[in-house]
């Protein structure tokens, strides 16, 4: 009888779940604190939760810490970071997120008033609005493995005047950079979707480059994605005209009327497709849709004469390079070129 009772107890105990334990530890190297979750003898997660930061405000989250004699990866950032560390919003100046961190929560660093630099080192899933309203943010480094910039991620980051989007990028979310201080932007060739309002109301943006010399992926440009009055030039490398959603409202009507559209790379052979497109064709109503200069090995060292539209010689150049010339329209080898 006792044996049966013991057997029954053993079966019940075996069926009970192993409860996870959470312990807050301080990393002696960085001085930062982490919540370590264990299940039995296994560490299941290590989450950055705050702690005392250096006087310069730099938060460099380590990729590993030592716990009970073993090296473990830092896998996340606590969703309660701001509750646990209310001073962070006004003291953190720089943030480094290691490649081991799998995600950054929505709005987690929004409105950090003195945050200037962000370095995301891995293919970290970034939540919507993660850095929105960081008005001092001027430098953002994205990992070459990152695939998405989510909705409102850098919205109203007015000090952000430039950013290099990695070639791995596939999607840019709604209002991702709306109201930012960007002066120009290059959308990499693998991006298939630019969301509504993505770069709307960027008051300084004058140049948009769509794709690169090898743009294999068709792309869609959302409503008001580049709706900004400051846009002067659009360069496109895509042989298939990107889909403009809405009623051509990707760009302002003033952009169609006043800005230049220049087709380069594989797009140069498809001018007629752009001219025939219901909305891209609007660029050609008041002026031509321009193409670049094709340079072959045989003429790469040829000297070219560059004239303005009045027929006045502006310069002579090697390698058909127009670098250093002010923005405008020129005649090179009998062809009009906008820069």
Residues 27-84 pLDDT 10s? 999 999 999 999 988 999 999 999 999 999 999 999 999 999 999 999 999 999 999 9
- Scan for tokens 């290099």, then name that residue: 164
Confidence at 304, pLDDT banded by 50, 70, 90: low
Q: Exposed, middle or buried: residue 166 (CB in 10 Å: 0-12, 13-18, 19+)?
A: middle
Residues 6 or more apart whose Cβ sits within 8 Å of residue 17: none
Write down the pLDDT at residue 16: 46
Write down the pLDDT at residue 4: 52
Confidence at 296, pLDDT banded by 50, 70, 90: very low
336 pLDDT higher than 80: no
Residues 6 or more apart whose Cβ sits within 8 Å of residue 276: none
Write down the pLDDT at residue 299: 40
User: How much of the chain, in percent, has pLDDT values that exceed 70?
Assistant: 84
Write down the pLDDT at residue 72: 96
Total Cβ atoms within 10 A of residue 11: 9
263 pLDDT higher than 80: yes
Report the C-alpha gap between 320 and 187 in whole angstroms.
25
Evaluate whether 65 touches 34 at the Cβ level (below 8 Å): yes
Average pLDDT over residues 188-205: 96
Write down the pLDDT at residue 14: 46
Name the β-bridge partners of 58.
94
For the ranges 1-15, 121-135, 264-278, 283-297, the maximum mean pLDDT occurs at 121-135
Average pLDDT over residues 298-327: 64
Write down the pLDDT at residue 83: 97
């Amino acid at each position: 009888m006792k044996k049966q009772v013991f057997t029954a107890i053993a079966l019940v105990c075996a069926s009970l779940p192993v409860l996870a334990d959470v312990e807050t530890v301080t990393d002696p190297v960085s001085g930062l604190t982490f919540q370590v979750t264990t299940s039995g003898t296994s560490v299941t997660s290590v989450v950055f939760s705050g702690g005392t930061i250096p006087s310069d405000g730099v938060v460099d989250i380590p990729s590993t810490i030592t716990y009970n004699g073993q090296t473990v990866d830092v896998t996340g950032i606590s969703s309660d970071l701001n509750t646990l560390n209310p001073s962070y919003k006004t003291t953190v100046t720089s943030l480094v997120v290691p490649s081991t961190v799998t995600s950054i929560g929505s709005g987690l660093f929004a409105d950090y008033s003195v945050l200037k630099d962000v370095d995301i080192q891995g293919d970290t899933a970034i939540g919507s609005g993660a850095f929105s309203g960081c008005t001092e943010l001027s430098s953002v480094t994205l990992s070459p493995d990152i695939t998405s910039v989510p909705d409102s991620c850098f919205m109203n980051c007015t000090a952000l005047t430039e950013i290099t989007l990695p070639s791995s990028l596939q999607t840019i979310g709604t209002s991702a950079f709306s109201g930012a201080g960007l002066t120009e932007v290059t959308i990499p060739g693998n991006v298939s979707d630019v969301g509504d309002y993505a770069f709307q109301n960027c008051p300084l943006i004058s140049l948009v480059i769509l794709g690169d010399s090898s743009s294999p992926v068709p792309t869609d440009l959302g409503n008001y994605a580049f709706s900004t009055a400051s846009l002067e030039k659009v360069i496109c490398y895509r042989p298939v005209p990107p889909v403009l959603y809405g009623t051509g409202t990707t760009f302002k009507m003033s952009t169609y009327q006043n800005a230049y559209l220049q087709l380069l790379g594989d797009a140069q052979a498809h001018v007629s497709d752009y001219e025939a497109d219901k909305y891209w064709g609007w660029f050609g109503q008041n002026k031509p849709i321009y193409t670049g200069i094709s340079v072959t090995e045989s003429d790469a060292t040829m000297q070219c004469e560059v004239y303005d539209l009045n027929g006045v010689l502006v310069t002579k150049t090697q390698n058909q390079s127009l670098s250093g010339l002010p923005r405008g329209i020129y005649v090179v080898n009998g062809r009009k070129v906008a820069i």
